[in-house]
Amino acid sequence: MAAFTRVRLCRKLDAMSTVLLFILALAGGQLSLKAGPEIETQANPLPVKVPHSADAILKLAFEMNGLDETSNIPWHIRLTYAHFDEDGDNDHSGTVEEFYAGPKKYKRTITSDTLNQTDVADGSRLYRSGDQNWPGGPAMKAVDAVLRPLQSAHVKSQSVRPEKTDIKFSNVKLPCVSLRALDRRIMFPVQSVYCFNADSVMLRFTQGSYNTEARYDNLVPFHGRYVARDISVTRSGKAFLKIHVEELGEIAEVGEAFFSRPEGAAPLGGRITIPSDVYFDYLISTAEPNYPPGTPDGSTMVSFVVGKDGTVIEATADGGPEPLRKAACEAVGKYRFRPYLVLDQPVEVMAKTSLRFHSE
């Protein structure tokens, strides 16, 4: 028996060439677009009644965008991504292919110019063959953008309040939900604005930290959800990541041997190390360091461990003056992350971040 049979594949598409260039300003509690892209209107393939409250809108949007990783309906996806440096050069490219048979049974292969690995979940444990390092930013950002585009909006936090607003782009006005931090000492979540097609919860645009914006185009219905086949991400108005879904479809049959443990591979789990450019996408909130008077200029690298509940349980600083190290560790100790899951189970995560202090 074949390991898998794919059916109902979506046709291949040309790579999206438009680049999203805009700046969102937050002033007086209102969002205004100083310069914006032209967003093409798109028919809504899954008409639903849009809830009234901002909370309910985000909840329904989370349930209807991306691919469902909790269902037992097998699916297959193959996507390509291109990463661009600050000069606009394509410095990294790769392909991600996943065969999904359930929340704890899947095979994901990442092939790029810097990484070649396959993760196999056999129903109880996760194994990795090839490169053992955790995938870096471009690959995982591409996966999250397609499979989990509203994951950060789904986390409940008493320090953030969702608010409905409208944003006028160059040719269309979109209904949006913004996340407002109730405590000025707490920074906004990674994504703080979500915009949808008119009269729907079809995700079309997000704006977040690091001056990062994402535009979702060519959405198709799949198992009652919207999946964007083309996603363009910019940082500070420059191209950062372009993602294109090459194939998307159901799997008619799944052979058990297809998800068997790779020879010589050990199960993943316990405490894992995640690259900062990936893990900080899981950040919910953070606080500014409280530097004591007279703190000299400098920088320090903080290594920290996040527990299964998303709170920081260890933090140590290396380098820089003592007052800076102490303030940095105290600040990082207040960081809050979404729990990082391996086969639907939270694990402890080790990561690093650099903090700098410049006196005025």
Tell me: the pLDDT tens digits for 199-236? Answer: 999 999 998 876 789 999 999 999 999 999 999 999 88
Note the pLDDT of residue 184: 57
Is the pLDDT at 159 greater than 60, yes or no? yes
Does residue 212 contact residue 233 with C-beta atoms inside 8 Å? yes
Buried residues in 333-347 as b, exposed as e (16+ CB within 10 A) = ebbbbbbbebbeeeb
Residue 294: which pLDDT band, with cuts at 50, 70 and 90?
A: confident
For residues 265 and 287, give the distance between their C-alpha atoms in angstroms, rounded to a whole number: 40
> How far is the C-alpha of 250 from the C-alpha of 143, rounded, in Å?
18
| CA–CA dist 334, 285 (Å, integer) | 8
How far is Cα 164 from Cα 201, in angstroms, rounded to an integer? 13
What length is written for the chain? 360
Average pLDDT over residues 12-35: 31
Split at pLDDT 50, 70, 90, the class of 347 is: very high
**Residue found by looking up tokens 């100790």 in the block:** 333
Pick from 194, 287, 217: nearest CA to 41: 217
Mean pLDDT calculated for residue range 235-242: 92
pLDDT confidence bin for 17, thresholds 50/70/90: very low
The H-or-E segment that residue 98 falls in is strand 90-102
Residue 156 pLDDT exceeds 70: no
What the block records as the tokens of 90 is 């394509």
| Ramachandran bin of 346, using left for φ above 0, alpha for ψ from -120 to 50, beta for the remaining angles | beta
Mean pLDDT score, 291-312: 90
pLDDT at 35: 41
Q: Please give the mean pLDDT across all residues of the chain.
A: 83
103 Ramachandran zone, left/alpha/beta (phi>0; psi -120 to 50) = alpha
Output the pLDDT for position 208: 80
Which has the closest alpha carbon to 77: 61, 97, 53?
97
pLDDT at 26: 32
pTM as predicted: 0.79
Number of neighbouring beta carbons within 10 Å of residue 183: 11
CATH 3.30.2420.10 domain position(s) in the chain: 271-357
The whole-number pLDDT of residue 276 equals 86
Residue 15: pLDDT over 50 = no
CATH 3.30.2420.10, domain 271-357, yes or no: yes
pLDDT for residue 210: 66
Instruction: Provide the pLDDT confidence category of residue 195 given band limits of 50, 70 and 90.
Output: very high
Decide if 141 contacts 123 (C-beta within 8 A): no
| The two structure tokens encoding residue 173 | 């006005």
Which of 20, 18, 102, 115 shows the shortest CA–CA distance to 67? 102
pLDDT of res. 90: 94
Q: Per mean pLDDT, which range of 148-162, 166-180, 269-283, 312-326 is the poorest?
A: 148-162
Coil, strand, or helix at residue 298?
strand
Residue 141 predicted with pLDDT over 70: yes
Who's near 104: CB < 8 A, 6+ residues apart? 121, 123, 124, 343, 344
Mean pLDDT throughout 159-174?
87
For residue range 48-98, list pLDDT tens digits in order. Answer: 999 999 999 999 999 999 998 888 889 999 999 999 998 999 999 999 999
pLDDT at 193 (0 to 100): 92
Helix (H) or strand (E) run with residue 25 in it:
strand 23-27
336 beta partners: 285, 311
Q: Over 50: is that where the pLDDT of 155 sits? A: yes
pLDDT grade, residue 247 (50/70/90)?
A: very high
For 136-153, what is the mean pLDDT? Answer: 88
Integer Cα distance of 212 and 94 in angstroms = 21
Q: What is the pLDDT of residue 32?
A: 40
Rg (C-alpha) for the chain, rounded Å, is 21
Q: What mean pLDDT do residues 311-327 have?
A: 92
> Tell me, what's the pLDDT at 36?
52
Looking at CATH, the fold of the domain delimited by 4-259 is given as outer membrane lipoprotein receptor (LolB), chain A (2.50.20)
Q: Is the pLDDT of residue 266 over 60?
A: yes
- Asked if the model's pLDDT at residue 291 lies above 90, the reply is no
Strands 345-357 and 271-273: parallel
Q: In the chain, what is the greatest distance between 2 CA atoms, to the nearest angstrom?
A: 72
pLDDT attached to residue 359: 67
What's the average model confidence in pLDDT over 236-265? 90
Q: Where in the chain is the domain with CATH 2.50.20?
A: 4-259
Q: DSSP label at 254?
A: E
